[in-house]
Homo-oligomer: A and B are copies of this chain.
């Protein structure tokens, strides 16, 4: 044990490389757990930064197997003490008041959150804890017992990544290359192969915004890409074309991509704040832009169609004649298949049905992109055939994309209708297909 104590470097060696010292056992569960004990103790309060640094460094060099063991051990070790909880319950039962309640709250809290809070004092602590959650998410499916550990992390992240702590930054061609490189890497919706493709998205008729967190320098958290258009954009391929110089009378901001960057922050929702904040920024900069909406993908539609029964399809398409969508299920569907256009009405009807009527257990749309925008107060404005004529676009949804419209004067009412009554609001245009 003694050598373990020594690795708690005093301030004096704060600059030293701890791993040059012979008495450190790398990739050793007991070493790191002993340090965790120190961190959570009084010593952690006094020497927190140093101890936290050592814990995070040791964590990073654990093998994947040991990381799993580490998760299980801290999950158990720092959970609430059931005896203390029982005592707190007793005290509360005898005299249920704010004081006994506070005691109960504290007893039931456990120490896992406190452990992570103290680890956060380390240099790059926040970044390493996000990485830790990424590691945790990978093993979560096979280790359901760790879900409570993940809940604790997510609880903390919601506080740490409060929109009030985030900085919005405009990404331009004047942004440092190191950040742009990460942007390329993190873009998930419409991928870019190099800096040139990114440059087009930073042109004068485009806007690109990202949230950053002060503790994560040069690390985008979530970003959104906007095209200035005349009316809502109807084709991803059009949006990716080089800009021609003639000034168009742009009146619309089409949000065509929104990407979460950090796996470790999954389910810490920031997208809705980002969209609204960017709408505000664009209104300030470009007062002549009056309409705000999206050109969004339709993930899950292909899957859904593959499972849905023929009679149900017939039923949906009831009053349409001479339309046949069976080719969508065939393997010979190729990029640009002319039958897509020929059966435009039927496909639109199917998509409208899928978005509006197919619900999950909570009575909300099964499609999660829809849920996101509807929850924000947007409406389903349009369904666009051949909006994404690419392999990926066809694979995702036969090239179909959806315009959601953020009508500023009614988004709040829309939101309430959706939240309180599960009501999916669609434009008059779409109503015809339902």
Contacts and interface: CB of A to CB of B under 8 A. Distances in A.
Nearest to A406: B11
A177 B195 contact: yes
Interface stretch (A296-304, A392-400, A412-420, A421-429): A412-420
Contacts of A43: 412, 415-416, 419
A148 B45 CA distance: 23
A43 B272 CA distance: 12
A49 interface: yes
B412 A10 contact: yes
Interface of A is mostly: helix
A177 B172 CA distance: 9
A125 B176 contact: no
A242 to B, nearest CB: 16
A89 B80 CA distance: 14
Interface stretch (A159-167, A306-314, A353-361): A159-167
A202 to B, nearest CB: 8
A29 interface: no
A15 B273 CA distance: 16
Interface string A266-280: 000000110011011
A175 interface: yes
Interface residues of A, number: 84
Interface string A107-151: 011100000010011100110000000000000000001001001
A280 B14 contact: yes
A8 interface: yes
A109 B120 contact: no
Contacts of A218: 174
Contacts of A86: 96
Contact of A412 (B47, B173, B377, B409): B47
B98 A79 contact: yes
Given A108-B108, A109-B105, A120-B164, A49 B273 contact: yes
Contacts of A102: 148, 151
Nearest to A80: B101
Interface string A1-12: 000000010111
A215 interface: yes
A164 B122 contact: yes
A109 B98 CA distance: 11
Interface of A: 8, 10-12, 14-15, 42-43, 45-50, 52, 79-80, 82, 85-86, 89, 92-93, 96, 98-99, 101-102, 104-105, 108-110, 117, 120-122, 125-126, 145, 148, 151, 156, 158-160, 162-165, 167, 173-178, 180-181, 194-196, 199, 214-215, 218, 272-273, 276-277, 279-280, 283-284, 375-377, 408-409, 411-412, 415-416, 419
